[in-house]
Amino acid sequence: MQTETVALTREKETLLITLWAKAGESLLPDSLLKDRFAAEAAARIDYDFARLKVDRDLMIGLAMRAHVLDGWARDFLAEHSDAIVMHLGCGLDSRVFRIDPPAGVDWYDVDYPEVIALRRKLYPARDGCHLIGSSVTEPGWLGGVPQDRPAMIVAEGLLPYLPKEEVPLLLERLVRHCRGGEIIFDAYSALGLKLIALQPSVRVTGAELLWSLDDPTELQRQVPGLELATELTAYDPDGYDPAQIARMSWPARFAMQFFSLIPPLARIGLLLRYRF
């Protein structure tokens, strides 16, 4: 099996956290994601994943987050068989293979050129899947994306790493470009951003988290046309399958229960879906 060496640092290196977490969760006997593509890709990368300190709880937590976003995307594609999907800051996520969109959907994976080059080596080509090597904040890449079809825009683990002034500009650019659709992503409050920055897996990369969101309705004021459709807090016990939470360690389950009872802590992390 040919291995690939990676030389990613700071924000780019964090994509290895999510890849390793999803790969590891997919190898568990009770896996939620069952993402063999992630597991196979991680096995081919020459990198000391142990330094990222990804434990079982983080694996399960990131798998739960991905599963929610995958579900929202599947729901959208079930209603719009001619849609396009823009997977922003795709990293090495194998979402296109997990969701397996129908033939009428065009999928665009967007990330830095060196990340896209690595994707080409690790994942098989797929009809209807287009790879774009560009920073998501560069306006030019959108020129190759159709404007006349419903759009599902996914940005998992991306926006908190962008400069705070760039996030509304990016969202406004996307809303103007597309005729309509949905944007789904994760976000953190200002407190959540500080706590995530202390997480060992993030600290070891040296990545900086820059953009926070305390009030999801604020984006509606900043980006004309956005309408908040779904807001799920990270510690909402009703938002996730209890069987998945039960897979976590008792300290993690206790922390989730405790955080859910205190509003500022319950809202440190959000999964958001906007329509436009």
Residue type at 124?
Answer: P
Contacts by residues 252-260 (CB-CB < 8 Å, ≥ 24 positions apart)? 252/57, 252/61, 259/234, 259/235, 260/233, 260/235, 260/236
Question: Residue 19 sits in a domain of what CATH number?
Answer: 3.40.50.150
pTM over 0.85: yes
Torsion over CA: 223, 144, 97, 27 (sign): negative
Domain count, the chain: 1
Partners of 269 in the β-ladder:
188
Dump pLDDT digits (tens) for 70-111. Answer: 999 999 999 999 999 999 999 999 999 999 999 999 999 999
Dump pLDDT digits (tens) for 187-210. Answer: 999 999 999 999 999 999 999 999
How many CA atoms are closer than 13 Å to the CA of 145, on its beta-carbon side? Answer: 32
How far apart CA 262 and CA 44 sit, in angstroms, is: 42
How far apart CA 5 and CA 7 sit, in angstroms, is: 7
pLDDT in tens, the chain (276 residues): 678 888 898 999 999 999 999 999 999 999 999 999 999 999 999 999 999 999 999 999 999 999 999 999 999 999 999 999 999 999 999 999 999 999 999 999 999 999 999 999 999 999 999 999 999 999 999 999 999 999 999 999 999 999 999 999 999 999 999 999 999 999 999 999 999 999 999 999 999 999 999 999 999 999 999 999 999 998 776 777 888 888 999 999 998 888 888 888 889 999 999 999
Q: Which domain holds residue 187?
A: 4-275
